[in-house]
Structure formats: structure tokens, C-alpha cells
């Protein structure tokens, strides 16, 4: 069994060294494991909550996609897509919104922090706060739950959001009476380094102290490294590696042996300028080849677009049946199913009606099919050793009618009874054909239930 690992990257900024070491590199490494089924996506709907600058959003989406691909993500192996290419996500967001307690969202850290800031400033508590910020955790829950993700690697600031996704999933499962959603688990990568930025604080866009990964090329990388703040010790004076940002950053790229050598050089009094050059060259060993693919991708956005469209297709193949199943469960069913009596009456008296046809399979077991009034095969039952058991399943299906639980799968559906798939539909040629068949199947079940 593969573990489905899913994470999103908000597309507001330009990737920096801290993003690379803290998120991109470990995620790409995990995606290569055989026991991992990775789903990585660009959270561009989330980006809209933070930025209303269209050029910035567009640029960041492109840069982030190119960065992940250049860093070694294999789009054949990983499902790599943009949130905004998956219409099932906003649809699911609404379903989840309707079961989410408003009080839960009141407690979200990000929203609360904004309220506190307003209150301190003597403003209206909700001044300048959009409903987008407020709904952030529900959108994030939909990102995760649409794909039945098992593990969600995130930074510490996101732990609460995963907890909320679990809460919301449980609430939905409870209300609609079935385990629709897998409960996701948060993964915090403890051993991954947090890089200091130019000023020694954690490297972060919000501190404006970042070292860009690719943007600006080799020249800009070198210039940024030369601006890392150090103490004022002169060449020849011993430096303390453990309080030096240079050493922390170096270690995040280097082998153990290289780190030992760099530590010694600092203790031996290497000048800061020279040490920065050593750091720059070490980072370049890793970054230069990736930068080359990054630049090639950035020069051909159409290639990136094609990869993302493929990814969206793969992602939707999972999210679409999931959402179809949910629509069915919450009562958003096709019009045919709404009026069972009318449908039954509409069938001409003494005319054709859906029917069961029992048969004996080659292995001697008993099964049956359900045919529509037009003779289309709608369902094939599982095998029974005892013909009476097959008969009583027919009776139960008749009693249930359109209330029968239908599990929508990629290109087929299954009728579920007591948690077991007891009959399956044929395989359809596409999602649309499947959805149309769902309507016919529901109609036929209605008619069955209405029969004497
Ligand atoms: N909110 C996350 C962040 O800012 C990004 C994100 C959006 C995400 N949807 C997600 C992460 C789903 C994990 C799963 O870091």
C-alpha cells in the first residue's frame, strides 16, 4: 500500500534557499520513494487571499512550477497540478463550508492574529479582513480531503489547519453516516534545517532577508551571500562556527566531511569574505545544474503549462468521482431521481420496466443482472453460493430503490450495502458517460421501488 502524501505551495513569492532546503528538497526526495504516492500542487486560490496583484500571482505560479520541476520532480511519478485547475476543489469547499462550525474558524490562528492586531490598534475587530482569510482553513481542508491524502507535510504554522481538516472531515462523515474521508495526518520534518537569512533571523519573505534560489542567476546568488551579516572579526581571528549563519547554511548543502573542513577553516581564522566565497561555491555545486533547467523551463512556459494540464487531468480523475459520490450522498442528485412516483407512473401500464435477470455463472455460483426498461445492463451482482441469498439481495435492492448507496468510482459505480460492494455497473468510456449512466441507474432503481 502506498501512502498518499499531499502538500500545497502558496504561489505568492519567489522561491528562496530556505524554501529549497526546508520544503522543496525533502518533498522531491520523498516523491522518489516507491511507497509514496505524492500529490504536490500550487495553491493559487490560497494566493489570492494574500495578494491582489495579478502579475505577481502569474509570475509566482510560473516560477514555483519551474522551480519544483528543476529541483527534480518527475511529473510522471508525481501528481503535480494547480489548485485552480481542479473545479472539484471549490465545489468540495462549499460542501465542507456547510458542515463547518463558524466557531471553529473563529479560532484559526491566522484570523485571530488579524483580529488581535485590529483590536490593539483600536479598530473594528474585522477591519480589512476578507472572508477569504476567514475561509482559508476550509479551502485547505478541501485540498486535502478531495484526494484522500494520508500524510500532509507542512511547516509548524500549518499544524492547526491540518487539525481543522480532520475536524471538518469527521463532522461530514458523522452527518452523512459514512467514512467518506480519510483523516489526514500532519508530518513535520524535524531533521530538516531551517536556514537563517541575511540578518541571522529565520529566512523568510516576511523579514525581507532571503537569498533567492534561482532568480537573478549566479551573480545575484553571490551578491546575496556576500551580504550575509557576520561579526566584525578580522581575517586571522578565530570565528565561532556555531554562531555563524554561514556555517549553518553551508551544512545544509555539504557532506559531513565538507562541514568538518569548513568548521576548521573558520576556527583557523579564514576571513569572512573568503568564507562567503567558499559557501557560494559549495551552493553552486548543487544549484548550478538545477538553475540551468530552471532557465530552460522559464524560457518555455508552454512546456510547463502542458505538464500542469496533464497533472490536472490525473488529479481530476481522483477528485471528480469523489465529488460525484458526495453530491449523491448529500442529495444533489439528478432530476430523474427526485420524483420516483412520477417516474414509475410514466412507465406505460403493462409496458416495459426495469428487471432482474438471474443466471448461473460458469463456476456454478448464482448471480443476477439488473436491466433497464430498454434492456441496458445497469448492474451485475456479486456471486452467491445460495440462490436464495441472491434472491434476497434483489428484494433489498427493490426496497431501497434510489435510496441505495452508490459509490462512484473512476469509470464505474458500485452499489453498496452494509459497507460491502454487492453489485457493480459496467465500465463506462468516460466520466460523462458514467454520470449519465448514474442518472439512468437511479431512475431504474426508482421505478423498481415503485413497482408492486
Ligand atoms: N497553507 C499552506 C501554506 O501556506 C499551503 C497549502 C494550501 C497547503 N493547501 C494545502 C499545504 C493543503 C498542505 C495541504 O503553507
pLDDT above 70: residue 345 = no
Annotation: CATH topology of 216-297 = Tyrosyl-Transfer RNA Synthetase (1.10.240)
| pLDDT at residue 419 in the model | 82
Q: What is the mean pLDDT of residues 98-126?
A: 97
Enter the pTM of the model: 0.76
- Which residue from 224, 222, 192, 193 is spatially nearest to 209, judged by alpha carbons? 224
Whole-number pLDDT of residue 335: 64
Region class of 324: left (phi > 0), else alpha (psi between -120 and 50), else beta? alpha
C-alpha cell at 450: 415503485
Per-residue pLDDT tens for 409-450?
889 999 998 888 999 999 999 888 998 899 899 889 988 888
Using a 6 Å cutoff on CB, does residue 143 contact ligand 1?
yes
Q: What distance in angstroms lies between residue 192's CA and the mean position of ligand 1's atoms?
A: 18
**Which atom of ligand 1 lies closest to the CA of 43?**
7
- Enumerate the CATH 3.40.50.620 domain ranges in the chain, comma separated: 3-192+301-310
Q: Which of 67-76, 176-185, 265-274, 333-342 has the lowest mean pLDDT?
A: 333-342
Provide the residue count of the chain. 452
CATH number 3.40.50.300 is the correct assignment for the domain at 3-192+301-310: no
Average pLDDT over residues 346-357: 70
- From-to residues of CATH 2.30.29.80 in the chain: 334-451
> Does the Cβ of 4 fall within 6 Å of ligand 1?
no
Rounded-to-integer distance, Cα 26 and Cα 21, Å: 7
Spacing, Cα 9 to ligand 1 middle (Å): 6
Residue with cell string 494520508: 150
pLDDT at position 432: 86
Whether 139 is in the pocket of ligand 1, judged by its Cβ within 6 Å, is no
Nearest to 66 by CA among 210, 213, 194: 213
| pLDDT value of residue 400 | 86
Q: How far is CA 359 from CA 138, 275, 362, 364, 423, in A?
A: 49, 81, 10, 9, 14
Q: What pLDDT shows up at residue 350?
A: 53
> For residue 336, what pLDDT is reported?
58
3-state secondary structure of 361: coil
**What sign has the CA pseudo-torsion 131, 80, 429, 438?**
negative
Whether pLDDT at 171 is above 90: yes
Q: Could you tell me if 70 and 293 are in contact, meaning their C-beta atoms sit under 8 angstroms apart?
A: yes
Q: What is the share, in percent, of the chain residues with pLDDT greater than 70?
A: 96
Span(s) in the chain for CATH 1.10.240.10 = 216-297
Q: Which residue, judged by its Cα, is nearest atom 4 of ligand 1?
A: 10
| DSSP strands (E only) in 74-176 | 79-82, 151-153
Task: Choose which residue among 4, 5, 9, 164 to substitute to test ligand 1 binding: the one with the highest number of ligand atoms within 8 A of its C-beta.
Answer: 9
The C-alpha atoms of residue 354 and residue 352 are separated, in whole angstroms, by 7
Please name which of 211, 215, 220, 268 lies closest in space to residue 245, comparing C-alpha atoms. 211
Quick one: pLDDT band at residue 245, thresholds 50, 70, 90? very high
Which residue did the predictor score with more confidence, 26 or 350?
A: 26
181 C-alpha to ligand 1 centroid (Å): 18
Exposure string for 68-88, b = 16+ CB within 10 A, e = fewer: bbbbebebeebbbbbbbbbeb
Q: Which residue has the higher pLDDT, 447 or 260?
A: 260
- Span from the CA of 23 to the centroid of ligand 1 (angstroms): 12
Domain 334-451 in CATH 3.50.7.10? The answer is no
Check pLDDT > 70 for residue 162: yes
pLDDT greater than 80 at residue 257: yes
Confidence band of 374 (pLDDT split at 50, 70, 90) = confident
- Residue 80 CA to ligand 1 center (angstroms) comes to 14
Is residue 192 over pLDDT 90? no
| 205 has binding-site annotation | yes
DSSP class of residue 186 equals E
Pocket-testing residue among 161, 181, 189, 204, ligand 1, by greatest number of atoms within 8 A of Cβ = 161
Closest-CA residue to 204 (of 14, 9, 11, 7): 14
Apex CA 399: angle with CA 397 and CA 402, to 5°? 70
3-state secondary structure at position 81: strand
The reply, when asked if residue 156 is annotated as ligand binding, is yes
pLDDT > 60? residue 349: no
pLDDT of 348 > 70? The answer is: no
Whole-number average pLDDT of the chain: 93
Q: Say if ligand 1 is within 6 A of residue 8 CB.
A: yes
pLDDT at 270 over 70: yes
- Residue 61 marked ligand-binding: no
In the predicted model, what is the mean pLDDT of residues 182-188? 95
* Residue 305: Cβ within 10 Å count: 13
Q: What is the pLDDT of residue 405?
A: 86
Percentage of the chain lying above the pLDDT 90 cut:
81
Residue 343 has pLDDT above 60, yes or no: no
Ligand 1 near 152 CB (within 6 A): yes
Query: If you measure from the C-alpha of residue 41 to the centroid of ligand 1, how many angstroms do you get, rounded to a whole number?
Result: 9
Q: Is 293 labelled as part of a ligand binding site?
A: no
What dihedral angle (degrees, nearest 10) is formed by the CA atoms of 95, 99, 103, 107? -50
- In the numeric block, which cell numbers belong to residue 311? 497533472
Cβ atoms 26, 192 nearer than 8 A = yes
At residue 122, φ and ψ (nearest 5 deg) are 75, 20
Q: Residue 10: CB within 6 Å of ligand 1? A: yes
How many Cβ atoms sit within 10 Å of the Cβ of residue 333?
A: 16
Decide whether any atom of ligand 1 lies within 6 Å of the 144 Cβ: yes
> Model confidence over 81-99: pLDDT tens digits?
999 999 999 999 999 999 9
The CA–CA distances, whole Å, from 117 to 58, 59, 349 equal 30, 30, 71
CB atoms within 10 A of CB 262: 22
Amino acid at each position: 500500500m502506498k501512502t498518499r502524501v499531499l502538500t500545497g505551495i502558496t504561489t505568492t513569492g519567489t522561491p528562496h534557499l530556505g524554501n529549497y532546503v526546508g520544503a522543496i528538497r525533502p518533498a522531491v526526495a520523498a516523491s522518489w520513494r516507491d511507497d509514496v504516492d505524492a500529490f504536490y500542487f500550487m495553491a493559487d486560490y490560497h494566493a489570492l487571499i494574500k495578494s491582489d496583484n495579478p502579475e505577481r500571482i502569474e509570475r509566482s505560479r510560473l516560477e514555483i512550477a519551474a522551480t519544483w520541476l528543476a529541483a527534480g520532480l518527475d511529473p510522471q511519478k508525481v501528481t503535480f497540478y494547480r489548485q485552480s485547475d481542479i473545479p472539484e476543489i471549490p465545489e468540495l469547499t462549499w460542501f465542507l463550508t456547510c458542515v463547518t462550525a463558524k466557531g471553529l474558524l473563529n479560532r484559526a490562528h491566522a484570523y485571530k492574529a488579524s483580529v488581535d492586531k485590529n483590536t490593539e490598534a483600536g479598530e473594528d475587530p474585522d477591519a480589512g479582513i476578507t472572508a477569504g482569510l476567514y475561509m482559508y482553513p476550509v479551502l485547505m481542508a478541501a485540498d486535502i480531503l478531495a484526494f484522500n491524502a494520508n500524510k500532509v507535510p507542512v511547516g509548524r504554522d500549518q499544524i492547526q489547519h491540518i487539525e481543522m481538516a480532520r475536524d471538518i472531515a469527521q463532522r461530514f462523515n458523522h452527518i452523512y453516516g459514512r467514512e467518506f474521508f480519510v483523516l489526514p495526518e500532519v508530518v513535520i520534518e524535524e531533521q530538516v534545517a531551517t536556514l537563517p537569512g541575511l540578518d541571522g533571523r529565520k529566512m523568510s519573505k516576511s523579514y525581507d532577508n532571503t537569498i533567492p534560489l534561482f532568480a537573478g542567476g549566479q551573480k545575484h546568488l553571490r551578491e546575496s551571500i556576500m551580504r550575509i551579516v557576520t561579526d566584525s572579526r578580522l581575517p586571522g581571528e578565530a570565528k565561532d562556527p556555531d554562531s555563524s549563519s554561514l556555517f549553518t547554511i553551508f551544512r545544509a548543502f555539504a557532506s559531513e566531511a565538507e562541514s568538518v573542513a569548513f568548521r576548521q577553516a573558520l576556527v583557523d581564522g579564514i576571513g569572512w569574505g573568503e568564507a562567503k566565497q567558499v559557501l557560494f561555491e559549495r551552493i553552486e555545486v548543487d544549484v548550478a545544474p538545477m538553475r540551468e533547467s530552471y532557465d530552460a523551463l522559464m524560457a518555455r512556459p508552454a512546456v510547463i503549462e502542458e505538464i500542469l494540464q496533464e497533472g490536472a487531468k490525473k488529479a481530476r480523475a481522483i477528485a471528480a468521482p469523489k465529488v460525484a459520490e458526495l453530491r449523491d450522498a448529500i442529495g444533489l442528485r439528478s432530476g430523474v431521481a427526485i420524483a420516483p412516483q412520477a417516474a414509475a407512473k410514466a412507465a406505460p401500464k403493462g409496458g416495459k420496466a426495469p428487471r432482474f435477470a438471474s443466471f448461473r455463472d460458469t463456476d456454478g455460483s448464482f448471480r443476477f443482472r439488473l436491466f433497464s426498461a430498454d434492456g441496458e445492463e445497469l448492474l451485475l451482482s456479486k456471486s452467491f453460493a445460495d440462490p436464495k441469498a441472491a434472491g434476497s439481495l434483489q428484494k433489498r435492492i427493490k426496497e431501497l430503490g434510489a435510496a441505495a448507496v452508490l459509490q462512484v468510482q473512476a469509470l464505474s459505480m458500485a452499489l453498496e450495502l452494509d459497507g460491502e460492494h454487492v453489485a457493480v455497473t459496467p465500465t463506462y468510456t468516460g466520466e460523462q458517460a458514467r454520470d449519465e449512466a448514474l442518472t439512468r441507474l437511479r431512475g431504474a432503481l426508482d421505478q423498481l421501488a415503485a413497482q408492486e
